[in-house]
Amino acid sequence: MIDLHIHGGFGLSFHRGKVEDNLKIASKLKELGIEWILATIIALPPEKLKKALSAIRDAMKETDVIKGAYIEGPFINPLKTGGIPVEFIKSWDIETFKRVIEEYTDTIKIVTLAPELKESKYLRDFLKDKGIKVAIGHSLATYGETVEFTEKGVDLATHIFNAMREFHHREPGIVGAILESSIPCEIIAEKHHLHPTTTKLVYRIKGKESVIPISDATSLAGYDKKEGIFGGRKIINKDGACFTEDGKLYGSATLLLDGLKHLTDLGVYNSMSEAKNTLMRTIEKLKIL
C-alpha cells in the first residue's frame, strides 16, 4: 500500500517538525503494510514550514517509508482552506515560497495550487521546471479557469469535491473539469467526506486506474485518544473523521487500510487485493519517485 496524502497518525503529526515523530509514524505505518508515503503538511507560516520540511528530509535519510513531502498551499483560495488557517496562507509572498522550493527541491514532491489565483499560473511552471508535481485543489475555480490552467500541465487533483467549488449543472466548476479530464484524482477513503453514491460516481466516471484513495489522516488516526489539535484548532474523532467543536469536518481519523476496506465494502473494488494493486499501479503512473 501507498498513502500519497497523510498528515500524521498515532498522536503525531508531520506539521510539528520533529524527526523522531516522523520516524515513529513511519515505523507504525510500515507495520500495517504501508510501503511508502508522502508526508503531507499544510501551508504553515514560512519558518514553521521550513522546520517541517527539514524534519521530513532528515527522516527520509533513516527510513524508506517517507519518500518526500506534499504541501497543500500556500497559494490556495482563502475561502476553501479546509483545515488550513487563513492567516497561514496570507503570510506568504511568491518570492519567499520560491526560495523555500529551491531549498527543498530534493524533498518536496507535490504542491497544491488553486487554478484561479494569478500566482498559481507562474508557480505551476516554476514547480514543473524543478521536477515537482502540481496538484489542483482548495479552490473556487470555475470550469473555464480550471481547463485553462490544466491545459499547460497538471499532475493530480487534491481530494476531489473536498475544499472545492461545488458542482452545479450550469457551472460544473473545478470538479466538472477534473471529472472529464485525464488527470488522476485523490479521493478521501472515508465515509464522512463523500457520500457513498458520490464515491461510486467518481470511480464510474474516472475509472479505477485514475482514482487514488488517500487517508488524509491527522494525528488522531490510529490513536486511542479522541481529541487533538490540527491547524491550530481542537479536533474530535467521531466515527473515523475529525470535526471541530462547532461541527466542521476537519480531516480524517481513518488510516488507509480501513479506507480501502470501506471502498471494498462499497463495491468499488472486488477485493482488498484489487484495491491495493490498483492503487500502486495508479501511483506508479505519476512517476513521483
DSSP state letters, 182-222: S--EEEE-STTTS-HHHHHHHHHHH-GGGEEEE--B-TTTT
Closest residue by Cα to residue 154 from 141, 163, 165: 141
To which CATH superfamily is domain 2-286 assigned?
Metal-dependent hydrolases (3.20.20.140)
User: To the nearest whole number, what is the mean pLDDT of the chain?
Assistant: 95
pLDDT band with cut points at 50, 70 and 90 for residue 66: very high
Using the Cα atoms of residue 96, residue 94, residue 229 and residue 218 in order, give the sign of their dihedral: negative
Helix runs in 1-93, H state only: 19-31, 46-60, 86-89
Q: How much is the pLDDT for 233?
A: 84
Instruction: Say if CB 154 and CB 136 are below 8 A apart.
Output: yes
C-alpha cell at position 147: 481547463
pLDDT at 87 over 90: no
Chain Cα centroid distance, residue 267: 24
pLDDT band with cut points at 50, 70 and 90 for residue 88: confident
C-alpha cell at position 190: 472515508
Q: How much is the pLDDT for 32?
A: 95
Per-residue burial over 31-67, b = 16 or more CB atoms within 10 Å of its CB, e = otherwise:
eeebebbbbbbbbbbbebbbbbbebbbbbbeebebbb
Model pTM?
0.95
pLDDT in tens, 211-245: 999 999 999 999 999 998 887 889 999 999 999 88
pLDDT at 246 over 90: no
Which H, E and C letters describe 67-86, residue by residue? EEEEEECCCCCCCCCCCCCH
Cα 104-251-231 angle, rounded to 5 deg: 60
